Amino acid sequence: MIPVSFEYAKPSTVDDAVRALTDGGDDAKVLAGGQSLIPMLRLRMAVPTLLVDLGGLGELRGVRDDGDALVVGAMTRHADLLRDPLVRDHAPLLAQATETVADRQVRHLGTIGGSLSHADPAGDLPSVAIALDVSFEVVGPGGWRTIPAADFFVDFLTTSLGDGELLAALRVPKQDGWGTHYEKFSRVAQAWAIVGVAAAVRRENGMIAGARVALTNMGSRPVRARAVEEALVGASATVDAVSSAAGRAAEGADPPTDVWASAAYRSHLATVLTRRAVAAAGGIHAS
Amino acid sequence: MRLDHSFTVPVDVDEAWRVLLDVPRVAPCMPGAALTEFDGEAFTGTVKVKVGPIVLTYTGKGRFVERDDAAHRVVIEASGRDTRAAGTASATVTAVLVPDGDRTRVEVATDLVVTGRPAQFGRGMLADVGGRLVGQFADCLASEIAAPVPDAPQPVVPDSLPDPAEPSEPAPAEATSTPSADGIETTPAAIQPAATAVSPAAVLRPVEPEREVEPIDLLKLSAGTRTARYAGLVGLAAVAAVATWFVIRALRG
Amino acid sequence: MTTVQERPAGEVGAARKRKEDARLITGRTMWTENITLPGMLHLAILRSPMAHARVTRVDTSAALREPGVVTAFSGRDVADTQGSLPCAWPVTEDMVHPDHPPLAVDEVRHAGEAVAVVVARDRASAVDALASIEVDYEPLPVVLDMEEALAEDARLVHADKGTNKAYTWVFDSGEAGTGQAVDAAFAGAEVVIKRRYIQQRLIPAFMEPRSVVVDPTGDQHTIWSATQIPHILRVMVALVTGMPEHKVRVVAPDVGGGFGGKLQVTAEELIAFMAAQRVGKPVKYTETRSDSLLSAHHGRDQIQDLELAARRDGTVLGLRVNLLANMGAYLGIVTPGVPLLGAFMYNAIYKFPAYRFVCTGVYTNTTTTDAYRGAGRPEATYAIERLMDELAAELDLDPVEIRRRNWIGHDEFPFDTVAGLTYDSGNYEAATDKALALFGYEELRAEQASRRASGDPVQLGIGVSTYTEMCGLAPSRVLGALRYAAGGWETASVRVLPTGKVEVVTGTSPHGQGHETAWSQIVADRLGVPFEDIEVLHGDTRTSHKGLDTYGSRSLAVGGIALVNACTKVIDKARPVAAHLLECDVSDLEFADGAFRVRGAPSDAAGKTIADCAFAVFAAHDMPDGVEPSVDADATYDPGNFSFPHGTHLCATEVDTETGRVTIRSYVAVDDVGRVINPLIVEGQVHGGVAQGIAQALFEEAVYDSEGNLLTGTFIDYTVPSAVDLPDIVSDRNETPAPDHPLGAKGVGEAGTIASTPAVINAIVDALRPYGVRDIRMPATPERVWQALQGGARS
C-alpha cells in the first residue's frame, strides 16, 4: 500500500536532525534503516507528518575502540556491524545476534540504532543490549545524555527517548574474557524470534564467575533473567548446574500469547534455550 | 473477547455508586478520549491511540443501554471506526457494584470486538492489551473511589487551551494530574485562561472547563506488565472510548 | 509419416534452459501492473473490516471531494447492474447457490469483502480517499466453524437460504457398480482405523499480486489481468456483464504465478470493468499483499473423518470418507468441485474393493476457498497415506510393506479403480525401489533404532508417501457427468511464416510453467525447425482465440497433444506442396529430419523443408489446383482419459523432543510423470511442489480469530518458508510412458505438492510413535509437536 503523505527531511548534521525532530513535534519520526517503520507506513498503521532521515549523518556510522568499550554509531548497518573486526573480537554476541536479524536484504538496510529505538521486544538486539549492559548515548534539544540499557526499554515499541531526542551511539563494554552465545528460535528463518536468549558467561577455575542472560520476546520489553544469573554465579561449570539454573529462565517474565506461540510454550522454550545458550557461551558440555 | 475485572473499595455501595457517577473525578481515568457531541442520549467522540510509530484515531458513538440505581448496574454500548478506515472497534461494558459489608466490590465486564487492520496485523495480543486497559481504568477508579470525596466542585480551570477545531471533553482541574496504578503521572499542560473558543460541540452541553486530550501513550501507562501489540491498541481505544461515554452519560444521569 | 508413439530424437528430452526466464527473472516484461495507458485512472477498493454485518449506509460523497478523485461508488450504486460472480460447477442439482455480488450491497459476509471503490487520477489519491467513505455496519453473528455452521440452530451466513449447507455429494462404490458395498467390507474387517484429519486453510501466496487493467475506449473492451484463465474470464465477463463476447478482449500478459489462486473470475476484475465503463477511461487496480492474503481465494480447509477397514494380514478392504469442505462465504468459479477432485483419489494406488465418499460443502464467514495446487487431490492423498501408516503401526508392519501388500501391480494396468477411473499405466514397485535405494532406507531405520535405544533427545522419523494423481483435466464427458459447466479440451495453432519461422498459438495460459520452452521443443522436433525459430503466443484472446487455460496439470497432457496434432496437420498440409516442388507423387514422399524426400532417397539428398513449403504457399504462384495455399493448422483435442503420474517420496525428519522443532534431514522424490519433455522444467516443478507441500505440513496456516479477522494477514504471520527452511531435495525419475498420449507425458505440476505433505507428517509421527503420538495437526509447528509430546494431542 501507499503511505499517507508526509514531509521528509534529510539533515546533514546531528544538530540539524535534533532541530528537525523537535520542530516536527509529536508526529515526527526518525527514519534510520526503515525496516520496521516503512512496513508500518505502508500498512498505514503509522502516519507521521514528518520523517527525519538520518541517512545523511555519516558521523553516526561505524565502530571505534574506546578503551574498555566499543562505541558503535547508531546508523551502523547490520551488515557492516556483523563484519566489523572490533565487534567480532570484543562483542561477538552482538555480531552473532545481528546475523540472525531478519534476512540479508533487511540487514543491508537496517541499522542497530533503528532496531534498538524501535524497541520491539521480539527484536534480537534489545535483549543483547541489556545482557551486555550497553549504554545508550542520546542527543536531544537538551544536549547529550547517557541512558543505561536497563532504563532504555520502557514498553512495547516504547523507549525512554524524550521529545526531539535521538539515539546517536551505543557504548558496548568489551566482552574480553567472556564467552557469549545468542540462541534464537523462530518459525521460519527470516521471522522474529518466538523466543531468543542472549547469554554471556565468564568462567574461573571451573566455576562460573559471571553470567548475564537476557530474553527476547518474553515480555513487553527485553527481560533480564536475573534468577538464572544468580543461580549460575558461583556454581560449578557443569551441565547439571546450567540445567538447574536455566529452569528458572521464565521467572518474572510475562510472555505473550500470539499466533506464533502460547505463553506456556514460550516459558518452556525459555528454559531449554537458556540452557543451550549458557552451555554454548560457557563451553559447558557433557563430558 | 470478554475481559473481566473486579476490585474492592473501602466504602459502602451507595457511596461508591455516587463516586462512580461523579464524572469530574472519574473522567481523568480515561486518557486519550475526547467528546465531540452529546445530545442527551447519544454521544460521539474520538480516541487517539499512539504507541511507538503506530497511530490509530477512532471516531465513535455510544449509548446507555441500562442504568439501574437500585441494582447499582450500568451497561454501555459503544462503537467506533478508525478515521483512516483501518477498522472498527465496539464494546459492551457492564459495571456492577456489589455490597460487601461496609466495602463494595466493583465488577467491570467488557465485551470487546475489534476488526480490520489492527486485529489483522497484530500478533494476537488483543486480550493482553484490552485487559491491561480495563485494568488501568479499574485501578484508577479504585483509587478515586477510595479517596475522600470533595463536597463541592473544584474551581473551573482548564489545563490547556482548547483547539477551536477540535472540541474536547469536559474535565475538572483536579484531573490534570492523575496518578496511575504504578505512580506514573500524566503531565498537566500549562494552565490557561478559561475557554476562549466556542466549538459546535460545546454549545450542546453546559459550559465546562475543557481539556486538550492527549493520545493514549504506553509510556504513560504502567510499564512492565503484559506486552502491548498493535492489535491491542484498538482494544485500548475501544475501552477508553466506552469508559468516556460511561462517565459522561453518568454525569447527565 | 510421423509416428507419434516414437520418441523423437533431438529437442524433446533435452534440458533446455527456459527461453522465457530472462525476461521473467529480470522483470523486464509486461506484468499487468507495468501497463500504463493514456488517460489511465487508478482504482482503490474499500474492504469490509467486519466478517459479517449489515451495511446500513455507505456515503461516498466526501470521497468525491478529495483531490484527484474522479468517481466513487458502492455496491448499492450498482446493485441492479453488477450481476453475480460465477460458479461454473454446481455439483448437485439442489446445491444452495447464493448471489455473489462483486461489491457488497446490503450485507458483508467475510472480512475483506469489497464494499466501495474510488477512482482517481493517481493511486495514492485513490487510496487516500478511501478514508473519506463512511460505512455504517450493523454487526451480525459470525459463524466460522464448519460443524457449528451445520448445527440445528446455527447462525446463518446467508439468512435467506435457511441453511449453511451448500450441498452433499456422495459416491458409493456399491451403488456406482465400481466395487463392493462398503458396509459389507467393514462387516468383514479385522481391523478398523478411524481418524479425523484437518486440512488447514492455506493461502496460495502467488508471487505477483493480482492486478487488472480495463480499457473501455476501443471497439473491444480490453481486460489485462494477472489471471490463469484469460479464455474462461472472457466468457464469464460476457455472461455476467451482458457485454457481447466479441466486444471483450482479455489478455493475460506475463503472470507471476498462480498455484490455482488465479484460477478465478474475481470481484476485482468485474469492479474494474464497471469502473472503467463508468468513467469511460482505462482503469487499473493492483492489490497489495495484505489485500491479497485477505481477499484472494484460499485453499484446502476440510475436515476429514475417515475409517479404513482391513484384515490383520494388512489387506485393506474398504474406506469410508466423510468430508466437510469449507466453501467460505460464497462460491468461486470451481469452489464446490474442488473436494470432488479428491473423491476419485482416496483409493490412491491401492486395490481395495469398497469405498464410500460423502462430502458436505459448508458456508462460513470466511474468504471463499477454491483451487489451490493439487485441489482436492493433496487432501485425499494425505488422508490415505496417513491411514496406511496408521494401519502399518497397528499391525506392526513396515509402512513400505503395507503399501506393497495393497498396491496395483505394474502388470495389472490398465486398472479400473473402485472410484470409477481407469488408471492407464504405472510402476509403483519400480518407483518405490528406486526411492528406497536413493534414500538409504535400511541405514536410516538402523539409526532410528539406535536413537530410540539411547533416548536421544533428537529422534529420527521416516515418512513414506506413495501417490498417484489424475492429471490432464479433463475428458469433457467426465466433466459433463460431474455437472461442470465447461469442457476439458485444449487447442493449438501452428503458423509457419514465409521465412520459415514458426508461431505457435496455444490455448493454455502459462504463468511460470515454461510452456514457451516446452512447446518450442515439441514443435522443433515435429517440424524440424530450430528451437530458436519458434515463438509461442498465449494468453491474449485476440491471438489465442480459444482455449481452456492452465490448471490441474493439464497443459502438456492435453494442450501438448493438441500441439502435436496441429504439427501433424501442418505436415499433412505441406505434403502436396512438397510433392509439387519435388515434382513427385504425394505417395512417394516421406517426412523425416525436417524435410520431405522421395521415399528411399538418402538422408542427405535434397528435400523440401516445411520452410520451403511455407515460402511456396506464400508466393503461391503455381500451386496445383485444389491445394490450399497454406500450411498453417489448428487442432483441438479432447482427452479420452486422465493421465496418472505417480511416485514415491521419502522423508527423514529429526524431531527435537525438547523444543518440538522438526528439521527435515533428507528428502527423496522419485516421480514417474511419463515421458519428460524438459528435465529442467520437471525438476523445477518437483522442487517447487515439494516445497509447497512441506509448507502445508510444517509452516503455513490461515488463522481467523473468533470475530473472523484474518490474523495471518501479512507474510510476517503467514509463514511461507524460504530456501533456508527447506531441505535439499534428491529428485529422480522413472518413465512409464502414458499409453494414450502421443508424447507419453502425464503432467507434473502438482505431483510434488501432493506427495510431500503426508511424507513429512508420516515422518514426524514415525519419530514420535514411541512417545504415544499418533497424529500431529498441520502445520506441525514446534509448539504442536511439543504439546503432542506432553500428551496433549494423543488420540
pLDDT, one tens digit per residue, over B184-218 is 332 222 223 332 332 323 222 322 333 344 444 43
pLDDT value at position B33? 63
C68 contacts chain A (CB < 8 A) = no
- Range in A169-173, B28-32, B48-52 with the lowest mean pLDDT: B28-32
Q: Which residue among B84, B90, B120 sits closest to C711, beta carbon to beta carbon?
A: B120
Cβ contact C128–A5 (<8 Å): yes
pLDDT, one tens digit per residue, over B137-190 is 667 777 776 665 444 333 333 333 333 333 333 333 332 233 333 333 322 222
How does strand C41-47 pair with strand C114-120? Answer: antiparallel
Between C740 and C443, name the one with better pLDDT. Answer: C443
* Claim to verify: residue A210 and residue A185 sit in the same structural domain: yes
pLDDT, one tens digit per residue, over C435-488 is 999 999 999 999 999 999 999 999 999 999 999 999 988 999 999 999 999 999
A82 grid coordinates:
556483523
Q: Cα Rg for chain C, rounded, in angstroms?
A: 28
* Claim to verify: residue A165 and residue A233 sit in the same structural domain: no
**Of A174-178, B14-18, B162-166, where does the model show the most confidence?**
A174-178
Alpha-carbon distance values, C565 to A145, C26, C699 (Å): 80, 34, 43
* Claim to verify: residue A278 and residue A225 sit in the same structural domain: yes
pLDDT value at position C740? 79
The pLDDT of C730-752, averaged and rounded, is: 90
Give the closest residue to A228 by CA, choosing from A204, A206, A201, A205: A201
* Claim to verify: residue A90 and residue A21 sit in the same structural domain: no
A2 within some domain = no
Selected for mutation to probe chain C from A1, A38, A42, A217 (highest C CB count within 10 Å) is A1
Dist. CA C340–CA C92, nearest whole Å: 11
pLDDT value at position B233? 37
pLDDT, one tens digit per residue, over C198-243 is 999 999 999 999 999 999 999 999 999 999 999 999 999 999 999 9
pLDDT, one tens digit per residue, over C173-186 is 999 999 999 999 99
Q: What pTM was estimated for this model as a whole? A: 0.90
A219 grid coordinates:
515480555
Label residue B118 by pLDDT band (50, 70, 90).
confident
Residue C263 pLDDT more than 60?
Answer: yes
Question: Which chain C residues contact residue A188 at CB under 8 A?
Answer: 699, 719-722, 724-725
Rounded to a whole number of angstroms, the distance from the CA of B87 to the nearest CA of chain C is: 5
Label residue B40 by pLDDT band (50, 70, 90).
low
pLDDT value at position B133? 61
Question: Which chain B residues contact residue A30 at CB under 8 A?
Answer: none
Between B246 and C40, name the one with better pLDDT. Answer: C40
Cβ contact B227–A156 (<8 Å): yes
A105 within some domain = yes
pLDDT value at position B101? 87
A1 within some domain = no
Question: Which chain A residues contact residue C714 at CB under 8 A?
Answer: 39, 43
A201 within some domain = yes
Question: Which chain A residues contact residue B55 at CB under 8 A?
Answer: 27, 45-47
Question: Which chain A residues contact residue B84 at CB under 8 A?
Answer: 4, 44, 47
Residue B244 pLDDT more than 50?
Answer: no
C777 grid coordinates:
495437526
Question: Could you tell me what percent of chain B has a pLDDT over 90?
Answer: 3
Residue B226 pLDDT more than 90?
Answer: no
B54 contacts chain A (CB < 8 A) = yes
* Claim to verify: residue A11 and residue A112 sit in the same structural domain: no
DSSP bridge partners of B114: B89
pLDDT, one tens digit per residue, over C361-402 is 999 999 999 999 999 999 999 999 999 999 999 999 999 999
Residue C352 pLDDT more than 50?
Answer: yes
Cβ contact C705–B124 (<8 Å): yes
Rounded to a whole number of angstroms, the distance from the CA of A38 to the nearest CA of chain C is: 14
pLDDT value at position B131? 60
Selected for mutation to probe chain C from B77, B115, B125 (highest C CB count within 10 Å) is B115
The pLDDT of C487-495, averaged and rounded, is: 97
Give the closest residue to A244 by CA, choosing from A217, A266, A219, A211: A211
The domain boundary residue, chosen from A139, A172, A205: A172
B218 contacts chain A (CB < 8 A) = yes
Residue C663 pLDDT more than 90?
Answer: yes
Question: Could you tell me what percent of chain A has a pLDDT over 90?
Answer: 91
Residue C794 pLDDT more than 50?
Answer: no
Dist. CA C520–CA C526, nearest whole Å: 10
* Claim to verify: residue A188 and residue A101 sit in the same structural domain: no
- By C-alpha distance, the chain C residue nearest A42 is C288
pLDDT value at position C640? 93
Question: Which chain C residues contact residue B125 at CB under 8 A?
Answer: none
Torsion of CA A140, A143, A147, A152, to 10 degrees: -10
A75 within some domain = yes
The question of ipTM being above 0.90 is answered as yes
The domain boundary residue, chosen from A172, A196, A218: A172
A70 within some domain = yes
* Claim to verify: residue A82 and residue A37 sit in the same structural domain: no
pLDDT value at position B86? 81
pLDDT value at position B225? 32
* Claim to verify: residue A48 and residue A94 sit in the same structural domain: no
- Range in A102-116, B225-239, C439-453 with the lowest mean pLDDT: B225-239
- By C-alpha distance, the chain B residue nearest C714 is B121
Q: Are C660 and C785 in contact (CB under 8 A)?
A: yes
C309 grid coordinates:
477397514
Residue C756 pLDDT more than 60?
Answer: yes
Cβ contact B119–C137 (<8 Å): no
Positions of E strands within C141-190:
165-172
Q: How many domains does chain A have?
A: 3
Per the prediction, chain A carries an average pLDDT of 95
A255 within some domain = yes
Dist. CA C499–CA A30, nearest whole Å: 62
Rounded to a whole number of angstroms, the distance from the CA of A21 to the nearest CA of chain B is: 14
- Range in B90-104, B121-135, B151-165, C267-281 with the lowest mean pLDDT: B151-165
The domain boundary residue, chosen from A172, A207, A224: A172
pLDDT value at position B237? 45
Question: Which chain C residues contact residue B117 at CB under 8 A?
Answer: 49, 290, 713
Per the prediction, chain C carries an average pLDDT of 95
Q: Output the domain CATH number for residue A227.
A: 3.30.390.50
* Claim to verify: residue A106 and residue A49 sit in the same structural domain: no
Label residue B61 by pLDDT band (50, 70, 90).
confident
Question: Which chain A residues contact residue C128 at CB under 8 A?
Answer: 4-5
Rounded to a whole number of angstroms, the distance from the CA of C466 to the nearest CA of chain A is: 28
Cβ contact B120–C133 (<8 Å): no
Produce one character per residue of C518-533: b if its CB has 16 or more CB atoms within 10 Å, e if not. bbbbbbbbbbbbebeb
pLDDT, one tens digit per residue, over C129-141 is 999 999 999 999 9
Which residues 170-209 of chain B have a CB within 8 Å of chain A? Answer: none
Residues 6+ apart with CB under 8 A from C628: C573, C617
pLDDT value at position A27? 87
Residue B108 pLDDT more than 90?
Answer: no
Dist. CA C263–CA C386, nearest whole Å: 29
Question: Which chain C residues contact residue B119 at CB under 8 A?
Answer: 49, 705, 707, 709, 711
Label residue B129 by pLDDT band (50, 70, 90).
low
Which residues 49-78 of chain A have a CB within 8 Å of chain B? Answer: none
pLDDT, one tens digit per residue, over C515-543 is 999 999 999 999 999 999 999 999 999 99
* Structural domain range at position A277: 181-282
Q: Which residue among B122, B124, B219 sits closest to A155, beta carbon to beta carbon?
A: B219
* Claim to verify: residue A72 and residue A136 sit in the same structural domain: yes
Rounded to a whole number of angstroms, the distance from the CA of C704 to the nearest CA of chain A is: 10
Residue B249 pLDDT more than 70?
Answer: no
* Claim to verify: residue A274 and residue A202 sit in the same structural domain: yes
* Claim to verify: residue A135 and residue A167 sit in the same structural domain: yes
Label residue B91 by pLDDT band (50, 70, 90).
confident
Cβ contact A1–C781 (<8 Å): no
Torsion of CA C182, C183, C187, C190, to 10 degrees: 40
A159-164's contacts with Cβ under 8 Å and 24+ in sequence apart are A159/A116, A159/A117, A159/A119, A160/B219, A161/A117, A163/A22, A163/A25, A163/A26, A164/A18, A164/A21, A164/A22, A164/A140
The C-alpha angle with vertex B207 and arms to B202 and B213, in degrees rounded to 5, equals 60
A46 contacts chain B (CB < 8 A) = yes
C709 contacts chain B (CB < 8 A) = yes
Q: Output the domain CATH number for residue A37.
A: 3.30.43.10
A165 within some domain = yes
Cβ contact C709–B119 (<8 Å): yes
How many CB atoms are located within 10 Å of the residue A42 CB?
A: 15
Residue C88 pLDDT more than 50?
Answer: yes
Label residue A155 by pLDDT band (50, 70, 90).
confident
C705 contacts chain B (CB < 8 A) = yes
The pLDDT of C291-296, averaged and rounded, is: 97
Among chain B, residues having any CB pair with chain C shorter than 8 Å are 1, 81, 83-88, 90, 113-117, 119-124, 126
